[in-house]
Amino acid sequence: MKAIILSAGAGSRLGNLTKEIPKSLVDVNGKSIIQRQIETFLNNGIKEIIVIVGPHKEKFQLNDVEYVIDKNFHEHEQLSSLMAASKYFQNDIIISFGDVIVDDKIMNQVVESTNEFGIAVDLNWEKNYVNRDQHPKSEAENVLFDKEGNVLEIKKNIQKPDSKIGEYLGVMKLSRKNSKVFLDKYSELKISHQGKFHNAASLESAYLTDMFQELIDSGIRISPIYVSGKWCEIDTPQDLKNAQKIFEE
């Protein structure tokens, strides 16, 4: 099993903290975000780790990882950035955003999942948005489920008061088979798609959640991996302070 970490984002919402370094190198209690991610992968038996880098790529000095340079990071968003590492879609893979920290418990739940295509989902997510005005609840990547419990819809700010709704953590797992399905669908879209792409203005500006919705609408089953444990996304200075409290050692 491989791990791919998406670390080509600029992290502009962190202000001066990311003026000279990549977002995933921001320090959280003595360790960078990405160091913590790598340790969690290693602790769960994943030794082949690929890091997609973009701005300030020369600042990465990590051992025992392989780098993929997203040369066009300034021209596209998450989905196209991930495709810079498409040659690694040959086996079971776990893909994580570069600004997310999860503890070993959550990562173990993802690794041990038997889902062919699974995304980590927190059902107890709303508590994470109390007093979080820089990154409000409306920005959460919500997940809505069908009657069988599979993912039906994934996007920001789903308003379905009588439905069970979770939050996507930014960690996913693909089997070898569905790694190929993912790549084949993207290749098809690159040739044929024009204009708006789900919640994005174009395929080039699409996030992973837009691709998830495309796959769901095409009949591909995406299953939730319900997780419990400590985790956080670091997008703003307020998020960073929160992460320092959650992962205080």
Q: How far apart are CA 139 and CA 165, in angstroms?
A: 14
Mean pLDDT, range 175-187, rounded to an integer: 97
Residues 6 or more apart whose CB falls under 8 angstroms from that of 195 comprise 202
How far from the centroid of its chain's Cα atoms is residue 73's Cα? 16
Flag the least confident range among 130-139, 143-152, 173-182, 227-236: 130-139
The pLDDT of residue 98 is 96
161 pLDDT band (50/70/90 cuts)? confident
pLDDT greater at residue 63 or residue 70: 70
Mean pLDDT, range 129-152, rounded to an integer: 94
Give the tens place of pLDDT for each residue, 2-28: 999 999 987 788 988 899 999 999 999
CATH 3.90.550.10 fits 2-246, yes or no: yes
41 pLDDT band (50/70/90 cuts)? very high
pTM of the model: 0.96
The DSSP symbol for 17 reads: G
The pLDDT of residue 11 is 79
The pLDDT of residue 64 is 85
SS3 content of the chain, % helix, strand, coil (to 5): 35, 25, 40
The pLDDT of residue 3 is 98
| Per-domain boundaries in the chain | 2-246
